[in-house]
Chain A
Amino acid sequence: MSPADINEDVIKESSMLKQKEMISANYEKLTSAPETGQKVASTYVPGNLNELIMCFDMLNNLPEINAIQNGMRKQSGAMIQDAEKMGHSEDVCTYVKADIGNMAKGAIAPNGKPMPVPDLLMLSYTGCFTFLKWFELLRDQYGCRTAMLHVPYEGDGVITANMRDYVVKQLKEEVIPTFEEVSGVKFDIDRLRENLKNSAKAEEDFVWVLESAKNKPSPIDAYFGGVYYVGPIFTAFRGTTDAIDYYKILRGEIEQRIASGQGPITPEGEMKEEKYRLVVEGPPNWTSFREFWKMFYDEGAVVVSSTYTKVGGVYDYDGFRHDPDNPLESLADYCLGCYTNRNLPMRVDMIEKAMEEYQADGFLINSIKSCNSFSAGQLMMMREVENRTGKPAAFIETDLVDPRYFSPANVKNRLESYFQMIDQKRAGGSPSRAA
C-alpha cells in the first residue's frame, strides 16, 4: 500500500476527524481561557468528574493527556530530563515528569499556545497515589485551590453502601461547594442530570464499540485503536453531545466494517489476516506508539480487549452507566469502579472473562515499571490468568512517555517469540505440527 493510500484511508474515517476537531477545539478553549475568562479545573482521567465540572461552566484540563500528547509528538523525552535535573527521581512516573518538565518550559499546549494556570485542582481519584503527590507539586507551582475526593479502594472487591455514601458526602460537602466558590456558579442538579444523560447515551455506543471485537475477524484493535476510541469518554467530552455524535459515527463505521468482514484499520491500512487474538493488560508505550503497534499488525496480531480501555471507567464488565436519576451516587460508583481501583482478584476475573468472551489466543502484559497502580501484582495476575485459561501469556516491559525505556529490538524479539509460542500451543501441544 502506498503512502497516498494510507492517507486516503485515514481521511475516510470521519470519526477520526471528528475527534481531532473536538480535541483542537478544547485546546483552543483552554489556551484562550485567560482572554475569555473561563475558569479551568485540572483533573485526572480515572474518576474524572467531567459532568460535574461542566455544571460550573469550567473547562477540564487533564495533565496525563497532555503528557501523552507530548509523548506521541516526541517531546516528552526532553521534558522528563528537565524534570530529572530539577531533582525528580528516575523511578517517578514519567507522566508526572513530562508534566513538570513541560511546566518548566512554560506549559505549551499542542496548539503552540501556553496552557492556562488552573483555577482549581480537582483530585477526584486516589487509587493512584502518585496523583496525590503530583497535585501537591502543581499546587506548589500554581498556588491555586485544591479539592480532594477520597475514593476508597475496592479492597474486598465490592462497592459497599458505606463507600458510596462516603464519596457522595464528600461531593456534597467538599467538592461542590469548592466548585461553587471558585467558579461563582451555583450548582444545579438538573444540569448535572442532563449531562449524565448524555454520558449514558455515549457510553452505550462506546460499549458496543468495545464489544464489536467479539466478531471474527475483529473490526477494531481494542488497544492501539482502543486508545483513540476511549478519547472522548475518558476526557473532557463525557456528558457532551459531541461525544454522543462521535460514538454514533464510530459505531456506523464499525458496523460497516463488520458487514464487509474487514479487520481493524492500522496506520498502514486495513489489517488483512487476523492470526492472533490477544487480551492486553497495562498502558501502551506512547513515544514509539506506531513502532510498537507495527510489531503487532505485521504479525497479524490484534488486541481484542485491553484493560487500559477501562482505566477511565469500566462500562462493559458490570454494565455501569452514569445514571441521571441518581446523579451523585452514580458519580461515586463511577469513581469507585475505575479499573485500577479494583483489587487484583477482580482484575484477574475481568481478564479471564475477556479471554473467554473475546475468544483470545493469549494474554500479554505490557508492564510499566514506574506505574505502580497498574504494575503491582502483574506477574501474579499473569500466572493466575494462565492457570485459569490455559492460554499462553507473556510479559514485556516498556514505559509510558520516556523514550529511553523503549528498547525496540528486545520488545520485538519477545513479541515474535510469543506469537510463535501461541502457534506451537495452538498446534495442540504437538511440536511436530507447530514446526
Chain B
Amino acid sequence: MKCYIGIDLGSTTTKAVLMDDKADILGRGITNSRSNYETAAAVAKQEARLGARLTLFRRGLTELTELEGIDVLMADLERSIRCEQFTEQLQDLHDTCASHISDGADDIKEALDEVFVLLAEESPALFTREAKRKSDFFRDIAGSRVMKLGEQVAKKRGVSFDTLLNLYDKSIIDVENRPPEGGLSEKFRAGLHRLLEGSPEFEIDEELAQIALSKALDVELEETYVVGTGYGRVTLPFPKEHIRSEILCHGLGAHLMYPHTRTVLDIGGQDTKAIQVDAEGIVENFQMNDRCAAGCGRYLGYIADEMNMGLHELGPMAMKSTKNVRINSTCTVFAGAELRDRLALGEKREDILAGLHRAIILRAMSIISRSGGISEGEFTFTGGVANNGAAVKELKKLVNENYGEVTINIDPTSIYTGALGAAEFARRAVIH
C-alpha cells in the first residue's frame, strides 16, 4: 500500500508518522536524536512501521470479530515485541562491550557477564502492564540499569566500576545505531502466540488471529513520499522539495488534530513557537525565540539533572505544590543557581518546580502575544512539554487570565504534531 511519511528531526527527539492515502495515521515512531540525524530518522521510521503493522493487524482483527479488550491485547502485543527487541539489543550491547575488553582481563569479563545476566533476568519486568518506564529509549533504560547493576557487581567482585562504565560508553552509540530490525514478523507471530496462550481472557481463536496477523504483515508498506522537517532536516539526504519548515508542519499538524485550531503553541527542546493558522491550517504568522532558548524543553531537562530526577517525574512532582514560589529566571544557567538558592532557603522541591513551570509558561505567553495573541478559534498546545501536566496547568491558568475562556486542546500524541503535518504534506504532494 502507498504510505506517506513525515519525519520531524527535533533537537532532542526524532519523530516519524506514517499515513495512508486517506490521511489515516498508521503508525508513529520516536527515538532520541543522538548526534546522528540519519540514524535517528531511520530508527523513527522503523518504529512507525512497527506501529503501522499493529494498526493493520488491529484493523484486520476488527473486521473479523468484535473483540472485547482489543486495546489491551494490542498494548500487550506491542510490549511483548518491545521486550523481545530489548533482549536482542541487550545481547548486542553485551557482545559489543565484550569486544572492547583487553586480553587477559578475565575478571572484567566475568563481571560484565554477570551484569548482563542480571539485566536479562529483570528485563521482562520492565515490560509488564504495570511497569512504569522513565523512558522508552534503549539508551536510557539500559544505561541506568547498567550503572546500577554495574556498581553492585563491581563492588562485590572488587573490580573497577569505571572500567565497566567505560565499556558501556564505548559501545552504546554503536548499539543504539543498529536497532534490531530482523525477524519482525517472527516476533509478531511468537508474541501473539505467547499472549493468547498465557492470557485466556482474550476470547479469540488463535488460528483466526494468526491469519489476520499474517495479512497485516504481508502488506507492503511502500514509502511513496517522505517529507522531513525540524532542525536536522537539512542534514538529511532529501531533495529540497521533500523538506518543509517545522512551522508549517506544526501548523498543519495541529489543524489536522483539531480543525478549529487558530493558535498553536509548541514548546520543544530548544524552540518555543507560537503559530497563528487560518481555517485551512495555513500559517498566517509565527513567532519564535530568536536569540535565546531560555524556557524551552531543554530547560526542564537541565533542571531534572540538577535535581537528580527523571524528566517525566518533574511535572507530577510540581503538581503536588501547595505554595507559590516565584522563579524569575528562565535562563537555564541562572535557573540552576536560583534553584539551589531556593532549596538552601528551605523551600520544598515541589513548590520550586511549580515556580519553574510557571516561569516557562510566562515566557511562552510573551511569544504568543507577539505572534498576535489568542483572538479566535481554539488553542492547541503541542510539543514534548505538552505532556507535562504542571506546564499544562500553568498554561491553562495564564491563558484564562489573559484571554478569557478559550478551548485548549492537548493531544497525548502532540509530540508528533510536526511529523503529522509533514506526513500530510507528503500525502498532498502525491495525491493533489
Contact = CB atoms under 8 A, between A and B. Distances in A.
A379 B247 contact: no
A420 B244 contact: yes
Nearest to B281: A431
Contacts of A407: 290-291
Contacts of B284: 392
Contacts of B429: 435
B280 A410 contact: no
A414 B290 contact: yes
A396 B282 contact: no
Interface in B283-326: 283-288, 290-291
B363 to A, nearest CB: 15
B245 interface: yes
A430 B246 CA distance: 19
A430 B280 contact: yes
B264 to A, nearest CB: 13
B303 to A, nearest CB: 23
Contacts of B287: 395
Nearest to A435: B428
Among B245, B290, B425, the most chain A Cβ lie within 10 Å of the Cβ of B290
B291 A410 contact: yes
A345 B246 CA distance: 34
Contact of A397 (B247, B282, B291): B291
Nearest to A397: B290
B28 to A, nearest CB: 21
Given A417-B248, A420-B244, A434 B282 contact: yes
Nearest to A415: B245
A421 interface: yes
Contacts of A431: 252, 280-282, 428
A414 B274 CA distance: 12
Interface in B391-432: 424-425, 428-429, 431-432
A291 interface: no
Interface in B219-239: 231
A424 B285 CA distance: 12
Interface string A382-413: 01001000001111110000000101011101
B291 A424 contact: no
A395 B428 CA distance: 28
A379 B432 contact: no
B278 A417 contact: no
A393 B284 CA distance: 8
- Grouping DSSP codes into helix (H, G, I), strand (E, B) and loop, the A interface class, with mixed when no group exceeds half, is helix
Given A424-B283, A429-B280, A417 B246 contact: yes
Contact of A413 (B231, B425, B432): B231
A425 interface: yes
Contacts of B372: 383
B370 interface: yes
Contacts of A425: 282
Tell me what chain B mostly uses at the interface: helix, strand, loop, or mixed. mixed
A432 B231 CA distance: 24
B245 A420 contact: yes
A414 B291 CA distance: 12
A395 B275 CA distance: 13
Nearest to B278: A429
Interface centre among B245, B280, B281, B431 (most CB of A within 10 A): B245
A416 interface: yes
Contacts of A172: none
A315 B431 CA distance: 51
Contact of B432 (A369, A416, A417, A432): A432
Nearest to A414: B288
A209 B188 CA distance: 70
Nearest to B427: A435
B418 to A, nearest CB: 12
A294 to B, nearest CB: 14
Nearest to A386: B285
A421 B432 contact: no
Given A395-B287, A433-B432, A435-B432, A421 B247 contact: yes
A430 B290 CA distance: 29
A411 B245 CA distance: 12
A405 B290 CA distance: 9
Given A392-B285, A405-B291, A379 B246 contact: no
A432 B428 CA distance: 6
Contacts of A417: 245-248, 283, 286
A75 to B, nearest CB: 22
Given A429-B278, A429-B280, A421 B248 contact: yes
Contacts of B290: 396-397, 407, 410-411, 414
Contact of B370 (A379, A405, A432, A433): A379
Nearest to A419: B245
A421 B278 contact: no
Contacts of B288: 410, 413-414
Contacts of B282: 421, 424-425, 429, 431, 434
Contacts of A424: 248, 282-283
Contacts of B281: 431
Interface in A281-317: none
Interface of B: 231, 244-248, 252, 278, 280-288, 290-291, 370, 372, 424-425, 428-429, 431-432
22 contacts: A369-B291, A379-B370, A392-B285, A394-B285, A395-B370, A407-B291, A409-B231, A410-B291, A413-B246, A413-B288, A414-B288, A414-B290, A416-B245, A420-B247, A421-B247, A421-B248, A421-B283, A424-B248, A424-B282, A425-B282, A432-B432, A435-B425
Given A405-B291, A410-B291, 14 more contacts: A392-B283, A392-B284, A410-B288, A410-B290, A413-B246, A417-B245, A417-B286, A421-B247, A424-B248, A429-B278, A430-B280, A432-B431, A433-B432, A434-B282
Q: Which 9 A-B pairs have the closest CB atoms?
A: A435-B428, A417-B245, A417-B247, A432-B432, A397-B290, A421-B283, A424-B282, A435-B425, A420-B245
